[in-house]
A and B are shown apart, each in its own frame.
Chain A
Amino acid sequence: GENVEQHPSTLSVQEGDSAVIKCTYSDSASNYFPWYKQELGKRPQLIIDIRSNVGEKKDQRIAVTLNKTAKHFSLHITETQPEDSAVYFCAASRGDQGAQKLVFGQGTRLTINP
């Protein structure tokens, strides 16, 4: 079955710097890659997603890149702010009939230092 590895498990950056979180997946049939942000005590919130027909997607300070050949994808946050502090989860899914389940990485605890 699908396996998703996420690194690093913890990341601490200075406010204003960039943060990068990387994930690798094992199932070459995976074609949908969402990222979720979970603040303490709150629900996982979908912040950006990418499908395998696209190599990069941006939304303001957040971007995701996908390398299908290498089977890895990354989350980039620029100009980090204190409110970016949270646990971030990557996930992968095949998206086809009977296989829409999300397989998650282990999570990255991001801390933005003022």
Chain B
Amino acid sequence: EAGVTQFPSHSVIEKGQTVTLRCDPISGHDNLYWYRRVMGKEIKFLLHFVKESKQDESGMPNNRFLAERTGGTYSTLKVQPAELEDSGVYFCASSVITGGRQFFGPGTRLTVL
């Protein structure tokens, strides 16, 4: 089966611009998670969807970040306006059941100049 896919693989934008990241989970996986790794530090949780509902958004850093999962399939993460500290690798993961194994996508490397 196809794994988790993310688009784009890389994005370079200027401070103040808007970027939208996309994640397509493994087919049939109701649970979708966003994480990010900043400056070689640990991978940190951002939020968790169950189908189209936000189950846990405790990791979202501020209101410049907006995640959506309309229809319960793919998800988007929008950063508007982007700041320098938003640079990092954004990972998406999915699991078939709540509390189940999470499978990661390849990540989107975001660079804010």
The segment from B13-21, B37-45, B66-74, B78-86 found at the interface with A is: B37-45
| B99→A100 contact, CB < 8 A | yes
Q: Taking the complex as formed, is B11 at the interface, i.e. its CB lies under 8 A from any CB of chain A? A: no
Q: Taking the complex as formed, is B87 at the interface, i.e. its CB lies under 8 A from any CB of chain A? A: no
Name the B residues within 8 Å of A106 (CB-CB): 41-42
Name the B residues within 8 Å of A98 (CB-CB): 55-56
| B104→A44 contact, CB < 8 A | yes
| A105→B48 contact, CB < 8 A | no
| A104→B42 contact, CB < 8 A | yes
Name the 6 nearest CB pairs between A and B, nearest first: A101-B45, A95-B99, A104-B43, A43-B106, A44-B104, A104-B42
| B45→A102 contact, CB < 8 A | yes
Mask for A64-106, Cβ within 8 A of B = 1, else 0?
0000000000000000000000000101010111111111111
Mask for B1-24, Cβ within 8 A of A = 1, else 0?
001100000000000000000000
| A100→B104 contact, CB < 8 A | no
Which bucket holds chain A's interface residue count? 20 to 34
Q: How many angstroms between the C-alpha atoms of A87 and B45 in the bound complex?
A: 18
Residues of A in contact with B (beta carbons under 8 Å apart): 4, 32, 34, 36, 42-46, 49, 89, 91, 93, 95-107
6 interchain pairs, CB-CB under 8 A:
A43-B104, A44-B43, A49-B101, A98-B55, A100-B56, A101-B59
Q: How many angstroms between the C-alpha atoms of A45 and B106 in the bound complex?
A: 10
Taking the closest CB of chain B, its distance from the CB of A31, in whole angstroms, is: 9
| B:62-111 near A, CB below 8 Å | 91, 95, 98-99, 101-107
